[in-house]
Chain A
Amino acid sequence: MTKLKTHMGRRAFIKNTSLASGGLVLGFSILNSCKPEQAKEMVVREMPKEWFEMNSYLKIGDNGVVTIYTPNPEFGQNIRTSMPMLVAEELDVDWKNVLVEQAPYHADKYGFQFTGGSRGISARWEPLRMAGATARQMLIAAAAETWQVPKEEITAEAGVLQHAATKKSAGYGEMASVAATLTVPEEVQLKEVKDFKLISRSQKNVDAKSIVTGRPLFGMDIQEEGMLIAMIEHPPAFGLTLKSVDGEAAKAMPGIKDVVTIKSFKDGYEKGGFDTNAFPELVAIVGNSTWEVMQAKKKLKVEWQPITAYSETIAGFGGKQTINIPAGLESTTTHKSQMEALAAKPGKVVRKDGNPEVAFENATTILERSYSAPFLAHNNMEPLNAFAHVAGDKAKIAAPIQIPPLIIPTIASSLGIPKENIEMDLPRMGGGFGRKAYAHFVVEAALISQKVNAPIKLVYSREDDMTNGIYRPTYHATYRAAFDENNNLTALHVKAGGVPESPLFANRFPAGAIDNYMAEEWTIDSNISIGAFRAPRSNFMAGAEQAFLDEVAETTGKDAIQFRLDLLKRAKENPVGERNDYDADRYAGVLELVREKSAWKENDATKHRGVSAYFCHNSYAAHVLDLKMENGKPVVEKVVCAIDCGVVVNPDAATNMAEGAITDGVGNAFYGELTFEGGVPQKNNFHQYQMIRMKEAPKEIDVHFVQNEIDPTGMGEPPFPPVFGAVANALYKATGQRHYQQPFNKSREIVG
Chain B
Amino acid sequence: MEISLTVNGVSKTVDIADENTPLLWVVRDTLDLKGTKFGCGKAACGACTLHVDGEAVRSCSYPVKFADGKEVTTIEGLGDRENPHPVQQAWIEEIVPQCGYCQPGFMMATAALLNKVPKPTDEDIDKNIINVCRCGTYYRMRKAIYKAAKLQAEKVINESKEA
Q: Is A213 within 8 A of B135, CB to CB?
A: no
A430–B39 CA distance with the chains assembled, in angstroms: 10
Q: Is A407 an interface residue (CB 8 A)?
A: no
Nearest to A208 among chain B residues (CB) is B92
Q: Is B135 within 8 A of A660, CB to CB?
A: yes
Q: Is B34 within 8 A of A223, CB to CB?
A: yes
Which residues from chain A contact B136 at a C-beta distance below 8 Å? 659-664, 667, 692, 697
Which residues from chain A contact B140 at a C-beta distance below 8 Å? 656, 659
Q: Is A211 within 8 A of B100, CB to CB?
A: yes
A657–B95 CA distance with the chains assembled, in angstroms: 11
- Known A-B contacts A204-B92, A209-B92; the reply to A295 vs B100 at CB < 8 A is no
Which residues from chain B contact A657 at a C-beta distance below 8 Å? 98
Determine how close the nearest CB of chain B comes to the CB of A625; give it in whole angstroms.
14
Q: Is A507 an interface residue (CB 8 A)?
A: no
A461–B42 CA distance with the chains assembled, in angstroms: 10
Nearest to A34 among chain B residues (CB) is B81
Nearest to B102 among chain A residues (CB) is A381
Q: Is A700 within 8 A of B35, CB to CB?
A: no
Interface size (A, Cβ < 8 Å)?
Answer: 72
Interface string of B45-68 (1 = CB under 8 A from A): 101000000000000000000000
Which residues from chain B contact A40 at a C-beta distance below 8 Å? 81-82
Q: Is B25 within 8 A of A213, CB to CB?
A: no
Q: Is A75 within 8 A of B79, CB to CB?
A: no
A663–B132 CA distance with the chains assembled, in angstroms: 12
A653–B36 CA distance with the chains assembled, in angstroms: 25
Q: Is B114 an interface residue (CB 8 A)?
A: no
Interface of A is mostly: loop
> Among the listed stretches A130-138, A332-340, A538-546, A683-691, which one makes contact with chain B, having 4 or more residues with CB under 8 Å of it?
A683-691
Q: Is B103 within 8 A of A212, CB to CB?
A: yes
Q: Which of B28, B131, B134 is the most central at the interface, judged by chain A CB atoms within 10 Å of its CB?
A: B134
Q: Is B33 an interface residue (CB 8 A)?
A: yes
A431–B96 CA distance with the chains assembled, in angstroms: 15
Q: Is A291 within 8 A of B21, CB to CB?
A: yes
A193–B98 CA distance with the chains assembled, in angstroms: 27
Question: Which residues of chain B in 57-110 are interfacial with respect to chain A, using CB atoms and an 8 Å cutoff?
Answer: 74-76, 78-82, 84, 88, 91-92, 95, 97-104, 107
Question: Which residues of chain B in 8-52 are interfacial with respect to chain A, using CB atoms and an 8 Å cutoff?
Answer: 17-18, 21-22, 25, 28-30, 32-42, 44-45, 47
Q: Which of B45, B84, B98 is the most central at the interface, judged by chain A CB atoms within 10 Å of its CB?
A: B98
Which residues from chain A contact B74 at a C-beta distance below 8 Å? 214
Q: Is A556 an interface residue (CB 8 A)?
A: no
Q: Is A656 within 8 A of B95, CB to CB?
A: yes
A212–B87 CA distance with the chains assembled, in angstroms: 9
- Known A-B contacts A211-B100, A212-B88, A382-B99; the reply to A431 vs B81 at CB < 8 A is no
Q: Is B139 within 8 A of A701, CB to CB?
A: yes
Which residues from chain A contact B30 at a C-beta distance below 8 Å? 289
Q: Is A291 within 8 A of B134, CB to CB?
A: no
Q: Is A289 within 8 A of B99, CB to CB?
A: no
Q: Is A212 within 8 A of B107, CB to CB?
A: yes
Which residues from chain A contact B142 at a C-beta distance below 8 Å? 694, 697
Which residues from chain B contact A701 at a C-beta distance below 8 Å? 139
A700–B79 CA distance with the chains assembled, in angstroms: 30
Q: Is A213 within 8 A of B75, CB to CB?
A: yes
Q: Is B34 within 8 A of A214, CB to CB?
A: yes
Which residues from chain A contact B45 at a C-beta distance below 8 Å? 381, 462, 686, 691
Determine how close the nearest CB of chain B comes to the CB of A392; give it in whole angstroms.
28
A462–B76 CA distance with the chains assembled, in angstroms: 24
Q: Is B130 an interface residue (CB 8 A)?
A: yes
Which residues from chain B contact A290 at a C-beta distance below 8 Å? 25, 28-29, 38
Which residues from chain B contact A360 at a C-beta distance below 8 Å? none
Nearest to A720 among chain B residues (CB) is B136
Which residues from chain B contact A216 at a C-beta distance below 8 Å? 34-35
Which residues from chain B contact A383 at a C-beta distance below 8 Å? 38-39
Among candidates A381, A664, A691, residue contacting B101 with C-beta atoms closer than 8 Å = A381
Among candidates B40, B84, B99, residue contacting A429 with C-beta atoms closer than 8 Å = B99
Q: Is A353 an interface residue (CB 8 A)?
A: no
Q: Is A686 within 8 A of B40, CB to CB?
A: yes
Which residues from chain B contact A215 at a C-beta distance below 8 Å? 34-35
Which residues from chain A contact B103 at a C-beta distance below 8 Å? 211-212
A692–B126 CA distance with the chains assembled, in angstroms: 12
Q: Is A77 within 8 A of B98, CB to CB?
A: yes
Q: Is B35 within 8 A of A213, CB to CB?
A: yes
Q: Is A433 within 8 A of B134, CB to CB?
A: yes
Which residues from chain B contact A292 at a C-beta distance below 8 Å? 18
Among candidates A217, A291, A694, residue contacting B129 with C-beta atoms closer than 8 Å = A694
Q: Is B18 within 8 A of A698, CB to CB?
A: no
Among candidates B33, B40, B99, B138, residue contacting A431 with C-beta atoms closer than 8 Å = B99
Q: Is B137 within 8 A of A213, CB to CB?
A: no
A698–B141 CA distance with the chains assembled, in angstroms: 12
Q: Is B133 an interface residue (CB 8 A)?
A: yes
Interface string of A450-484 (1 = CB under 8 A from B): 00000000010110000000000000000000000
Q: Is A281 an interface residue (CB 8 A)?
A: no
Q: Which of the four size classes fits the interface of chain B?
A: 35 or more
Which residues from chain A contact B134 at a C-beta distance below 8 Å? 378-381, 431, 433, 664, 691
Which residues from chain A contact B102 at a C-beta distance below 8 Å? 381, 430
Determine how close the nearest CB of chain A comes to the CB of B10; give it in whole angstroms.
15
A292–B21 CA distance with the chains assembled, in angstroms: 8
A686–B38 CA distance with the chains assembled, in angstroms: 13
Determine how close the nearest CB of chain B comes to the CB of A639; give it in whole angstroms.
9
- Known A-B contacts A381-B132, A462-B41, A659-B140; the reply to A214 vs B32 at CB < 8 A is no
Q: Is B25 within 8 A of A659, CB to CB?
A: no
Q: Is B151 an interface residue (CB 8 A)?
A: no
Which residues from chain A contact B81 at a C-beta distance below 8 Å? 37, 40-41, 209, 213
A734–B156 CA distance with the chains assembled, in angstroms: 45
Which residues from chain B contact A41 at a C-beta distance below 8 Å? 81
Q: Is B132 within 8 A of A214, CB to CB?
A: no
Q: Is A220 an interface residue (CB 8 A)?
A: yes
Q: Is A208 within 8 A of B95, CB to CB?
A: yes
A433–B22 CA distance with the chains assembled, in angstroms: 29
Which residues from chain A contact B127 at a C-beta distance below 8 Å? 695
Which residues from chain A contact B17 at a C-beta distance below 8 Å? 254-255
Q: Is A583 an interface residue (CB 8 A)?
A: no
Q: Is B3 an interface residue (CB 8 A)?
A: no
Q: Is A428 within 8 A of B99, CB to CB?
A: yes
Nearest to A652 among chain B residues (CB) is B95
Which residues from chain A contact B28 at a C-beta distance below 8 Å? 290
Q: Is B99 within 8 A of A686, CB to CB?
A: no
Determine how close the nearest CB of chain B comes to the CB of A118; give it in whole angstroms.
15
Which residues from chain B contact A694 at a C-beta distance below 8 Å? 125-126, 129-131, 138, 141-142
Q: Is B18 within 8 A of A291, CB to CB?
A: yes
Which residues from chain A contact B80 at a C-beta distance below 8 Å? 213
- Known A-B contacts A212-B84, A660-B137, A697-B136; the reply to A289 vs B29 at CB < 8 A is yes
Q: Is B76 within 8 A of A214, CB to CB?
A: yes
Which residues from chain A contact B41 at a C-beta distance below 8 Å? 294, 461-462, 685
Q: Is A207 an interface residue (CB 8 A)?
A: yes
Q: Which of A41, A223, A662, A691 is the most central at the interface, judged by chain B CB atoms within 10 Å of its CB?
A: A691
Q: Is B34 within 8 A of A381, CB to CB?
A: no
Q: Is B39 within 8 A of A381, CB to CB?
A: yes
Q: Is B139 within 8 A of A431, CB to CB?
A: no
Determine how close the nearest CB of chain B comes to the CB of A534; give it in whole angstroms.
10
Q: Is A382 within 8 A of B37, CB to CB?
A: yes
Nearest to B130 among chain A residues (CB) is A693
Which residues from chain A contact B133 at a C-beta distance below 8 Å? 381
User: What are 20 pairs between A and B in contact, CB < 8 Å?
Assistant: A40-B81, A76-B98, A76-B99, A211-B100, A212-B104, A214-B75, A218-B100, A223-B32, A254-B18, A431-B99, A462-B39, A656-B137, A659-B139, A663-B136, A664-B134, A664-B135, A692-B136, A694-B125, A694-B131, A697-B142
* 4 A-B pairs with least C-beta separation: A214-B35, A430-B101, A663-B136, A76-B99
Chain A residues near B (Cβ < 8 Å): 37, 40-41, 74-78, 204-205, 207-209, 211-218, 220-221, 223, 229, 254-255, 289-292, 294-295, 378-383, 428-433, 459, 461-462, 652-653, 656-657, 659-664, 667, 685-687, 691-695, 697-701
